[in-house]
Amino acid sequence: MIAMRKLGSSAGIMYDIALFTIGMSLSITSVSYFIMSLSYKSNNRIFRYVSDMKDINECIM
């Protein structure tokens, strides 16, 4: 949506894309850190949930 507003200048689009990718990578790393801290606090529950997800994925595939 931001890129649509700045269609006139390709530099603005490139800037928006760079900001978007940086924001996405930052949010992904923060989410993974959050999951890691959760898994340290409650190991069994998280790992059981992950193994269940793997089983569900294998059933879907």
pLDDT tens per residue across span 12-52: 778 888 888 888 888 888 888 887 777 676 666 656 777 77
- What is the pLDDT confidence band of residue 4, given thresholds at 50, 70 and 90? low
What is the residue-wise DSSP string for the chain?
-HHHHTTT-HHHHHHHHHHHHHHHHHHHHHHHHHHHHHHHHSHHHHHHHHHHHHHHHHHH-
- For the chain, the structural domain boundaries read 2-60
Res 9: pLDDT: 67
Instruction: Specify the amino acid at residue 41.
Output: K
- What is the pLDDT confidence band of residue 7, given thresholds at 50, 70 and 90? low
Res 37: pLDDT: 78
